[in-house]
Structure 1
Amino acid sequence: MRRSCAGLLPSGGQKLFNNRITWSITHMAQAGLLERPRRGVTRITGRGRKALAGHPDRVDMKVLSRFAEYREFRARRRRPAESAGEADLSPADASPLELIPHLVAEAHAALADELVERLRGAPPEFLGRCVVKLLSRMGYGGPEGEVRRLGGPG
């Protein structure tokens, strides 16, 4: 029985529909079907138009797996569990409690990949502002948070 997308995730922090859309965009962007030039903006690529023309009813993970970039993305997401010496668990073989650490590691890896991708696509000044903001939030600069960027990029 399929769950309705109208409700919230079990954590209660996000609507299920929004979560599914966000993950769909992430997966399609990793396959090169979509691009995200800036926050809140997603645009279909030429490759995405071809994939949609070839699969007008459904673009799923099976379709995405035809692209080398997507296969690499999926392989990168598995590395944290493998490096810990744990075998890949399938949902059929594991309890939900056993799957949680793997799913969290996958989500962290996907978020890290997306962050790196966005930082690489941004101007150097943006990276400088991000570093300053990060250092400030980490507590550098004392109680007043006096962290500032000196100089320019490069």
Structure 2
Amino acid sequence: MEERRVSSKPISILVISAHCDTAVPSINVVDSVNHTIYDFYNFPEQMYQHKYPAPGAPQLARRVKELLIKSGFSRVDEDTKPGLDHGARVPLFLMYPEADIPVCQLSVQSQQDGTYHYNFGKALAPLKDESVLIIGSGSAILHLELPGL
């Protein structure tokens, strides 16, 4: 049996966030640093000060688009506005607080059925062999005492 070595740190991260819901898949293609999107309301002020300035992952974003198109998804939009919503940045902050791994975010299509989403995941499966961490995230809000706030 062949032994697979897994790096403790991925080369890039793809976050599929339930807080970014679009009619067709949309991937953020960011050449600079991701900004923080505050897509929640009426929370303590300190939560609006938290940032996660991870670099964008444009090569990964283009690879994701390529894989989806190759798998039969007829359209994948590119979003060039740099930003991570709380569904993306909260788990990232807890896992990699240094914000030093390139990240891109992919939208979900909640109006689609289970078969669609199964095929969506199947299309992205090759990324697991490319040292990419794939995170599916939903309703994560960071409500902790944050260092420096």
TM range (shorter): under 0.3
Q: Which one has a larger percent strand, Structure 1 or Structure 2?
A: 2
Question: Normalization by structure 1: what TM-score?
Answer: 0.24
Question: Normalization by structure 2: what TM-score?
Answer: 0.24
Indicate the structure (1 or 2) with the bigger Cα radius of gyration: 1
Q: Which one has a larger percent helix, Structure 1 or Structure 2?
A: 1
